[in-house]
Amino acid sequence: MAYNHKKIEKKWQVYWQDNKIFRTDDQSSKPKYYVLDMFPYPSGSGLHVGHPLGYIATDIVARYKRHKGFNVLHPMGWDAFGLPAEQYAIKTGTHPSVTTKTNIKNFRRQINMLGFSYDWDREINTTDATYVKWTQWIFLQLYKKGLAYEDEVPVNWCPELKAVLANEEVVDGKSEIGGHPVIRVPMRQWMLKITKYADSLLDGLDDLDWPHSVKELQRNWIGRSTGANVKFSLPSIQKNMSVFTTRPDTLFGATYMVMAPEHPWVANLVNNEQKSAVQEYIEIASKKSDLDRTELNKEKTGVFLGAHAVNPVNGKEIPIWISDYVIMSYGTGAIMAVPGQDQRDWDFAKKYDLPIIRTVQIPDDFDGEAYIGEGVAINSDFLNGLEINDAKNKIISWLEAKGLGEKAIQYKLRDWLFSRQRYWGEPIPIIHKDGKTIPLDKSELPLELPNVEKYEPSGTGESPLSTIPDWVEVKDDNGAIIGLRETNTMPQWAGSCWYFLRYIDPKNIENAWDKSKEAYWMPVDLYVGGAEHAVLHLLYSRFWHHVLYDLGFVSTKEPFKKLFNQGMILGEDGSKMSKSRGNVVNPDDTVDTYGADAMRLYEMFMGPLDKAKPWSITGLQGCSRFIKKLWSLLVTNEGEFSKHITHDDSSKETLRYLHNMIKRVSYNIENLQFNTCVSEFMIFTNHIQGLETINKDIIKTFIVLINPFMPHMAQELWQLSGNESELTFIKWPNFDENLIQSDTMKLAVQINGKRRSEIVVDVTMTEDEINEFAKSDERILKYLEGKQIIKEIYVEGRLVNLVVK
RNA sequence: GCCGGAGUGGCGGAAUUGGUAGACGCGCACGACUCAAACUCGUGUAUCGAAAGGUGUGGGGGUUCGAGUCCCCCCUCCGGCACCA
pLDDT digits (tens, 9 = 90+) for A571-600: 988 888 888 888 899 999 999 999 999 999
Do strands A334-337 and A430-433 pair parallel, antiparallel, or not at all (unpaired)? unpaired
Q: A261 with A286: CB under 8 angstroms?
A: yes
A248 touches strand B (CB under 7 A): no
Interatomic CA–C1' length for residue A700 and nucleotide B43, angstroms? 32
A297 touches strand B (CB under 7 A): yes
Measured distance CA(A805)–CA(A752) in Å, rounded: 9
Before A446, cis peptide (omega within 30)? yes
Residues in Cβ contact with A571 at an 8 Å cutoff, skipping those fewer than 6 apart: A577, A578, A581, A583, A584, A585, A614, A615
Closest CA to A667 of A680, A652, A654: A680
Closest CA to A236 of A193, A289, A273, A208: A273
Beta-carbon count within 10 A of A187 CB:
18
Looking at residue A638, what is its pLDDT? 84
Measured distance CA(A44)–CA(A47) in Å, rounded: 9
Residues in Cβ contact with A405 at an 8 Å cutoff, skipping those fewer than 6 apart: A228, A229, A230, A231, A242, A248, A312, A396, A399
Phi, psi of A762 (to 5 degrees): -75, 140
Residues in chain A: 805
Measured distance CA(A439)–CA(A247) in Å, rounded: 44
Q: A756 with A750: CB under 8 angstroms?
A: yes
Looking at residue A326, what is its pLDDT? 92
pLDDT tens digits, A649-684: 888 999 999 999 999 999 999 999 999 999 999 999
Interatomic CA–C1' length for residue A748 and nucleotide B21, angstroms? 13
A530 touches strand B (CB under 7 A): no
Buried b or exposed e, range A572-586, using 16+ CB within 10 angstroms: eeeeebeeeeebbbe
Residues in Cβ contact with A618 at an 8 Å cutoff, skipping those fewer than 6 apart: none
A619 touches strand B (CB under 7 A): yes
Measured distance CA(A689)–CA(A659) in Å, rounded: 17
Tell me the one-letter amino acid at A563.
Answer: L
Interatomic CA–C1' length for residue A78 and nucleotide B43, angstroms? 53
> A333 in the Ramachandran plot: left (φ > 0), alpha (ψ -120 to 50) or beta?
left
**Residue spans of chain A under pLDDT 50:** 291, 296
Q: Measured CA to C1', what is the nucleotide nearest A288?
A: B83
Q: A642 with A634: CB under 8 angstroms?
A: yes
Looking at residue A1, what is its pLDDT? 66
Distances (CA, A) of A552 to A132, A545, A546, A557: 21, 10, 10, 10
Beta-carbon count within 10 A of A617 CB:
13
Interatomic CA–C1' length for residue A794 and nucleotide B66, angstroms? 11
Beta-carbon count within 10 A of A78 CB:
24
A351 touches strand B (CB under 7 A): no
Interatomic CA–C1' length for residue A693 and nucleotide B22, angstroms? 32
Interatomic CA–C1' length for residue A671 and nucleotide B18, angstroms? 22
**HEC profile of A180-207:** CECEEEEEEEEEECHHHHHHHHHHHHHH
A344 touches strand B (CB under 7 A): yes
Looking at residue A296, what is its pLDDT? 47
A410 touches strand B (CB under 7 A): yes
| Segments of A472-531 assigned E as strands | 473-475, 481-485, 526-530
Looking at residue A51, what is its pLDDT? 93
> A702 in the Ramachandran plot: left (φ > 0), alpha (ψ -120 to 50) or beta?
alpha
Coil, helix or strand at residue A483 = strand
Interatomic CA–C1' length for residue A291 and nucleotide B83, angstroms? 14
Interatomic CA–C1' length for residue A621 and nucleotide B37, angstroms? 19
* Minimum-distance residue to B82 (CA–C1'): A294
- Asked if ipTM goes beyond 0.90, one says yes
Q: Could you tell me how far CA A620 lies from the centroid of its own chain?
A: 28
Measured distance CA(A793)–CA(A763) in Å, rounded: 17
- Beta bridge pairs of residue A641: A635
A326 touches strand B (CB under 7 A): yes
Looking at residue A477, what is its pLDDT? 87
